[in-house]
Amino acid sequence: MAKDPAPISFIQDVARGRVSSARLRRRHRCGTVSAMPVPVPKTYKLFVGGKFPRSESGRSFQPTSNPAINVARGSRKDLRDAVVAARAGLAVWSGSAAYLRGQILYRLAEMLESRRDAMQRELQLGGLSAPLAKRELDTAISLTIWYAGLCDKVQSLLGSQNAVQGPFFNFSMVEPTGVVGVIAPDSPSLVGVLALTLPLLAGGNSAVVLVSESAPFAGLALGEVCASSDVPAGAINVLSGLRSELAPQFASHRDLDGLLVAGAPDAALTQSAADNCKRVRFCYLSAADWSKVERLRSLTWVEPFVELKTLWHPVAQ
């Protein structure tokens, strides 16, 4: 079914996010876009270990915000691969100097800024209006910078030197919990991913993130931003798919050390996660809260996913 090339103005509109998803779908469907080169739509793929695979299952799904687009539908085995990648990424990420991690996250903010147009388009594909998309992007960048600057403070803020009895030097240092699974909220689709993942990254963890089911575009595009931000392969892994299918898999995976879920506490998930004593937390915010950047910046969000290690050392000649 041949399509006419779209007019340049339309392509520009698309790029500026001025085209509603409905209109875009119509254009594609009717094949009325003409007088311009055949557009090159993006394939929405997963981001695992620094690479962009399709789902090993070969499946895709059509997000409700934009059913015209096929998005890779991650499977249990994709999660398995992502956890393996995240385990490798953890070694590199947590082994990097906190200062370097801060610089890399700051680079992530820079990349978001320089890809504003593209990211805004992804948000609009997910159903946001242009002003709302811009606002979300502003929040995303602000949030990223805040956590970038936090990386090399976590140790000082949460660690301590402890005054114990006897000739001992005693101190407590923080270390990442490990590989943490994130079930991001359905909305906001970009800030939701960042707000839950950045505290983990600031604490030195690696993450496997399941992005918004209805609007996965911006979340998946975040993988592309990471790929150009010196984020080590595997430190962040992004999956898309059906939450109902994948969330229980996250909970039961024995090599995930923690689980951070957007939404109200879910007994079934925690019960399953108890199998390996996962650290489980839920992030239950109202739509209004999600839009307040100051509500999303908190050391208390870092705390549940760091481990405290206390060292004893004798003091003597």
Partner 1 sequence: MAKNGEKQQATGTPELVFGGVWKYDPAPESTEHFTIAPRYELFVGGEWKAPKTGKYFATIDPATEKPLSEVALAGDKDVDAAVKAAQKAFPAWSKLSGEDRGRYLFRIARILLERAREFACLETLDNGKPIKETRDVDVPLAAQHFFYHAGWADKLDLLFPGQTPEPLGVIGQVIPWNFPLLMAAWKIAPALAAGNCVVLKPAETSPLTALRLCEVFQQAGLPAGVVNIITGDGKTGAALVRHPGLAKVAFTGSTEVGKEIQRAVAGRGIELTLELGGKAAHLVFEDAAIDQAVEGVVRGIFFNQGHVCCAGSRLLVQESVHDLFVQKLQRRMARIRVGNPMDKNTDMGAIHSAAQLARIRELVAAGVEGGANLHQSACELPKKGFWFPPSLFTEVAMSHRIAREEVFGPVLAVLTFRTPEEAVEKANNTSYGLSAGIWTDKGARILWLAERMKAGVVWNNTYNRFDAASPFGGYKESGFGREGGRQGLRAYVRLAGGLLPG
Partner 2 sequence: MPHSLSPVEFRVPPVCAVALETRAADLATRSLKKQAKLQGLRLAIAMMDLTTLEGMDSPGKVRQLCQKAMRPLPQRSDVPSCAAVCVYPDLVETAVEALRGSTVQVASVATGFPAGRTDRATKLREVQLAVAAGATEIDMVIDRGAFLSGRYGKVYDEICAVKEACGAAHLKVILETGELKTYDNIRRACRIALLAGGDFLKTSTGKVTPASTLPVVLLMLEAARDHYLETGRIVGVKAAGGIRTSKDALRYLVLVNETCGDLWMTPQWFRFGASSLLNDVLLQLEKDRTGRYQRPVDFSAD
Q: Does 275 bind partner 1 (CB under 8 A)?
A: yes
Task: Tell me whether residue 58 or residue 166 sits nearer to partner 1 (CB atom).
Answer: 166
Q: Does 267 bind partner 1 (CB under 8 A)?
A: yes
CB of 285 to partner 1, least distance (A): 10
- Scanning 3-11, 163-171, 182-190, 222-230 for contacts with partner 2 by CB under 8 A, the matching segment is 163-171
213 close to 243: Cβ distance less than 8 angstroms: yes
Q: Does 168 bind partner 2 (CB under 8 A)?
A: yes
The distance in angstroms from the start CA to the end CA of the chain is: 84
Q: Does 315 bind partner 2 (CB under 8 A)?
A: yes
**Closest C-alpha among 45, 13, 16 to residue 27:** 13
Q: Does 163 bind partner 2 (CB under 8 A)?
A: no
Distances (CA, A) of 137 to 19, 54, 83, 112, 208: 18, 26, 28, 8, 22
Task: Tell me whether residue 2 or residue 264 sits nearer to partner 1 (CB atom).
Answer: 264
CA distance 236 to 50: 8
Taking residues 281 to 310 in sequence order and writing x for each that binds partner 1 by CB under 8 A, - otherwise, the string is xxxx----------x--x-xx-xx--xxxx
Q: Does 171 bind partner 2 (CB under 8 A)?
A: no
Residue 177: how many other CB atoms lie within 10 Å:
20
Q: Does 165 bind partner 2 (CB under 8 A)?
A: no
Name the residue type at position 116: R
- Contacts (CB under 8 A) with partner 2, residues 295-314: 314
When binding is defined by CB under 8 A, the residue of 84, 158, 227, 242 that contacts partner 1 is 158
Q: Does 2 bind partner 1 (CB under 8 A)?
A: no
**Closest C-alpha among 150, 47, 136, 156 to residue 105:** 150
CA dihedral 113, 117, 119, 123 (to 10 degrees): 130
> 141-173 burial by CB neighbour count: b if 16+ within 10 A, else e?
bbbbbbbbebbbebbeebbeeeeeeeeeebeee
Task: Tell me whether residue 158 or residue 242 sits nearer to partner 1 (CB atom).
Answer: 158
CA distance 251 to 293: 28
Q: Does 313 bind partner 1 (CB under 8 A)?
A: yes
Taking residues 22 to 61 in sequence order and writing x for each that binds partner 2 by CB under 8 A, - otherwise, the string is ----------------------------------------
112 close to 144: Cβ distance less than 8 angstroms: yes
CA distance 121 to 127: 10
When binding is defined by CB under 8 A, the residue of 276, 286, 287, 317 that contacts partner 1 is 276
Q: Does 166 bind partner 1 (CB under 8 A)?
A: yes
Q: Which two tokens stand for residue 85?
A: 């990648």
Task: Tell me whether residue 264 or residue 316 sits nearer to partner 2 (CB atom).
Answer: 316
Q: Which two tokens stand for residue 124?
A: 């609009």
Secondary structure of residue 258 in the 3-state scheme = strand
When binding is defined by CB under 8 A, the residue of 121, 210, 273, 290 that contacts partner 1 is 273
Tell me, by CB under 8 A, how many residues bind partner 2: 7
Strand 236-239 with 60-61, pairing: unpaired
When binding is defined by CB under 8 A, the residue of 277, 286, 287, 288 that contacts partner 1 is 277
Residue ranges binding partner 1 (CB under 8 A): 158, 160, 162-166, 168, 170, 172, 257, 259-260, 264-271, 273-277, 279-284, 295, 298, 300-301, 303-304, 307-314
Residues that bind partner 2 (CB under 8 A): 166-168, 314-317
